[in-house]
Amino acid sequence: MKRSKRLFGEVDGRPVYEYTLENSHGMQLSIMDYGAAVTAIKMPDKKGNVQNIVLGFDSVAPYVAYRPFYGATIGRVAGRIAAGKVVLEGKEVQLMVNEGKNHHHGGIPAFESRFWEVDEAATEGTLVFTYLSPDGENGYPGNLTVQVKHSLTEENEWKIHYTATTDKTTLFNPTNHVYFNLSGDHTKGVLNHMLQLESDQYAPLKEDSIPTGSLLEVEGTPFDFRELAPLKTGVESDHPQTVANRGYDHPFVLRQSADHPAGQLVDPESGRRIRFYTDRESVVVYLNNWVEGAYEIEGRKVQPYSGIALETQMLPDAIHHPNFGETILKPDEAFYSETTYQFDTL
């Protein structure tokens, strides 16, 4: 397993470094210490052509300028929290409101805009990033110590391990916001990619993208990915939920299985495939629906549907919906979660 490090730019006068792992098959995983963000995943297609299959820039500057969440570690809580108001141990806590009237992706700035400490002595094939989120950051109580370990295996697996502890009761529901485009060319988009999910239910959204609290059956809707189906299904549908969101930006409830993939993504043209496994209860599927060509990758404007995010997490806004699972972390607890993406070609 090879490991390298290069200067990736600077933020506020502090250097940013990109770290790359490469296995014996030539697969590469690159992550920078700003936002603990994945900047590239390179792998061959069915003809052996090696390309970057995630959206990312070639320096840190556009990440700072546009804050697109590409490959970023998201937290403390992924997704939206209604009105930013939560009750913890009987006390109302007001989180930062940074999207309309709601709290979004941990506030501004959050995990994706922080420097993370890198363990230079990590074991072979791993990159370990640590961040101390101070008490009161964006309204969250407690000093929260977060560690994210990324691993690249010889089986072409990218593993993400999250661990965290806090000294006060707080909320924690992290994810990684990587956008996949298995064609290796963002201008081709992902609408012809095929998606399959082990999911019988999805969470509908209100106008402000906060979940309604209900869970609906996918059968007979454009949210039915129990068998492989093209992503353009939702974009072309007249379903009120997909029309309002220009496609998918929705949580899907996953059937839990330790030894069976929670889903898969396939690009028929390149032959590339991703299967993913997770201990989280849901995956949020988002197709970069609202990007408006304000910036470029490799000299070409990034347009809607240029990538697909598969954000494994507990259901968003769970603190307000008892049926959505637990996102409270207490001082006597240790958080642990793992998601694995496995890459191959058909």
CA distance 298 to 296: 6
What is the Rg, in whole angstroms, of the alpha carbon atoms belonging to the chain? 19
The whole-number pLDDT of residue 121 equals: 75
CA distance 37 to 81: 23
Q: Are 344 and 173 in contact (CB under 8 A)?
A: no
What sign does the dihedral 140-171-244-71 (CA atoms) show? positive
Binned average pLDDT, 10 residues per bin, the chain of 346 residues:
96 98 97 98 97 98 97 98 97 98 98 96 91 98 98 98 98 98 97 98 97 98 98 96 97 89 98 98 97 94 98 98 97 97 97
Q: Are 115 and 34 in contact (CB under 8 A)?
A: yes
CA distance 190 to 187: 9
CATH number at residue 53: 2.70.98.10
> DSSP labels for 159-227?
EEEEEEEESS-EE-B-EE--EE-TTS-GGG-STT-EEEES-SEE--B-TTS-B-S--EE-TTSTT--SS
CA distance 81 to 316: 7
CA distance 246 to 280: 26
Q: Are 164 and 132 in contact (CB under 8 A)?
A: no
Total domains present in the chain: 1
Q: Is the peptide bond preceding residue 68 cis, with omega within 30 degrees of 0?
A: no
Instruction: Supply the range of the domain harboring residue 33.
Output: 2-345
Q: What are phi and psi of 111, to 5 degrees?
A: -55, -35
CA distance 181 to 189: 7
> DSSP labels for 129-146?
EEEEE-TTGGG--S-EEE
Structure tokens that stand for 341 in this block: 């993406």
Q: Which residues are catalytic?
A: 177, 311
CA distance 295 to 302: 6
Question: What distance lies between CA 303 and its chain's CA centroid?
Answer: 19
The whole-number pLDDT of residue 170 equals: 98
The whole-number pLDDT of residue 290 equals: 94
CA distance 211 to 233: 21
The whole-number pLDDT of residue 123 equals: 85
The whole-number pLDDT of residue 124 equals: 87
CA dihedral 70, 101, 331, 73 (to 10 degrees): 0
CA distance 29 to 23: 9
